[in-house]
Amino acid sequence: MPTVYTEVEVDVDLVDFDTNDLLDELENRGALPVEEHGDARNIVEQIYYLRRQGQAYDHLMDPLMYAVMGRVL
């Protein structure tokens, strides 16, 4: 028996979805950034104080990118 494909047009609005449903979909797609932005704030504060003192802060850039985007280079 042959396989049949069909297209269906559905009118959907984002308000029809619960926030948890949207977060689950983003997580399934691997597009959900790490939620711990509190860590990002702490890292930015560390960078601020190190820059003020003229010290190196490059070692904090990868943890900052991971805390905000969930990925690093």
> How many structural domains is the chain composed of?
1
Question: CA torsion sign, 12 to 13 to 19 to 25?
Answer: positive
Identify whether 40 is part of a domain.
Answer: yes
For 31, the domain range is 14-69
CA distance 7 to 1: 20
Burial (0-12, 13-18, 19+ Cβ within 10 Å), 32: middle
Identify whether 30 is part of a domain.
Answer: yes
What is the tens place of the pLDDT at every residue in 8-21? 998 988 888 888 88
Higher pLDDT, 48 or 71: 48
Identify whether 58 is part of a domain.
Answer: yes
The whole-number pLDDT of residue 7 equals: 94
